[in-house]
Chain A
Amino acid sequence: MILNRRHKILAAFLLSVVLLTTACTPKVPGRFDQVQQESSKQKSGQAVAKNATQGEKFNKFFPPKQAGYEQVFTQEKKGFAEAKLKKENKELAALSISDTTSTPSAAAKFSKSTKKIAGYPAVEVGKTQTAILVNKYQVKVLSRDSSFTASDRAAWIKKFNLTGLAKLK
């Protein structure tokens, strides 16, 4: 009985220690807390500009069908369209067009560009991305498989109908 009681006391003591320490530890702000606050100030309209081009208008400028490859459209939102590039059922890359009206910093990165692809300013981002800027539109190819290299990305960017996209208002 006494043993049992001691156990109970011990348990109660430990529980209070746990409660006290967890209650008093201040929460360290995480790396995304600030942006969470900023981005939830309004309910809608903060991520995508009102006048951004509808995604469906981008679809026809994607590369025409290539033998041996398959393109599957995955997202089509205001200001954005994306397709998967597949070969033998394996996902090689993601192809996308986005309107940089909503993301000015995305357009700004091209001002430092020293390279061109198909005559448009080009940048490589990280290990997996190559992008060009066609007026306000960003065309990006992202490797989803290590076999798909930077030169593959540049080659696929050239397959988009860039002249057509340049005329899109």
Chain B
Amino acid sequence: MSKSIFELVDELPTSGLTISMLKSLDFVAPGEWQNTVGFVNTIRDVTGETDEDLIQQIGERAIYLYNDRSQGYQRAMWLYQTVDNTDKALGAAALANKVGEKIPLLSFLNSVTPKADKAQTIDLSLKLVAELVAFCQINGIPGDSIGDFVASLGEYSGESLMRMVALVCVDGLIPLGPDFISKAISALNQTNPQELENNSTFKGIQDAIPGNNASSKLNFIGESFDSVKGWMSGLVNGNNLTPQKVVNHLQGFVEIADDKLDYLAAFLDMSTNYYEHTGTQTLARRLIERAVAEI
């Protein structure tokens, strides 16, 4: 582990493509997410404490907890980082600098390749599984507690809810269309263990997925997706979400033609890291909540 938890939280950006994207998805969960950055800021925000000595004690306990690998927090961080990083293209940093101006996407299309539906489905379901496993690592319940995870999805708020909203919009609706849930289920059913093993995201996180081999891991992925589909369709129906509606909100920072949505998905995949960004925020909050209660 190269970076300390306070560096990771201190270095979270306050602008750029990821932030613009998350802000433009605020309409799905209005006011839920504030982009709190900075370790000490987060301590103040979570605890409501202002005394510097106390903030120091809370921060120090949180750092101890994070650095103790037996506690699972580092593994959760690694998962958030890994599912986001597998697709990164080199252009991401350059693109991030352009935000503030609208980005005409068409000029970037040459360097972007949309993924096939099946690859997109595997990515979507792997992100879900990563969320589930990270949730279990952070909160201390066994790694295969699909039931506990689903129950707690209803409790998701703030940056965790925003991460799931972005997952549904950016990795579900935009690339796969309004019927992305049934499409993903049927694509998962047609996926064989070898195809899964060839997926770069799977290669990155397979050790963290319950199951002895690719075939049982594939089953676990399918079960996880199946158990979360009710929550996802609730979010979609409750907000009348359509790809068009999501794109309309994204138009604030990126210009895209309607028939190029799969390019938009690929573009957002390579140029944002919303999973890692909000995951770092979630992890920091849980650590700080525990630290303040323990000192």
Interface residues of A (CB under 8 A from B): 30-32, 35-36, 39-40, 43-48, 55, 72, 74-80, 82, 84, 94, 96, 98, 102-103, 105-106, 125-129, 138, 140, 142-144, 146
Q: Which chain B positions have C-beta within 8 A of A74?
A: 139, 286, 289
| Interface status of B91 (Cβ within 8 A of chain A) | no
Contact for B139 among A32, A43, A47, A75, CB less than 8 A: A75
Render B64-97 as a binary contact track against A, CB cut-off 8 A, 1 for contact: 1101111100000000000000000000000000
Please determine whether B293 and A94 come into contact, CB atoms closer than 8 angstroms: yes
| Interface status of B61 (Cβ within 8 A of chain A) | yes
Please determine whether B65 and A126 come into contact, CB atoms closer than 8 angstroms: no
Query: Can you pick out 11 interface pairs between chain A and chain B where the beta carbons lie within 8 Å of each other?
Result: A32-B59, A35-B59, A36-B6, A44-B71, A45-B68, A76-B139, A94-B289, A96-B294, A98-B293, A127-B48, A128-B49
| Interface status of B63 (Cβ within 8 A of chain A) | yes
Please determine whether B63 and A44 come into contact, CB atoms closer than 8 angstroms: no
A-B pair number, CB within 8 angstroms: 109
Q: Which chain B positions have C-beta within 8 A of A79?
A: 294
Q: Which chain B positions have C-beta within 8 A of A78?
A: 70-71, 140
Interface residues of B (CB under 8 A from A): 4, 6, 39, 47-51, 54, 56, 59-61, 63-65, 67-71, 138-141, 152, 155, 286, 289-290, 292-295
CA distance A98 to B289 in the complex (A): 12
In the complex, the 8 A-B pairs of residues with the closest C-beta atoms, listed nearest first: A47-B68, A77-B140, A96-B293, A44-B70, A39-B67, A47-B64, A44-B69, A35-B60
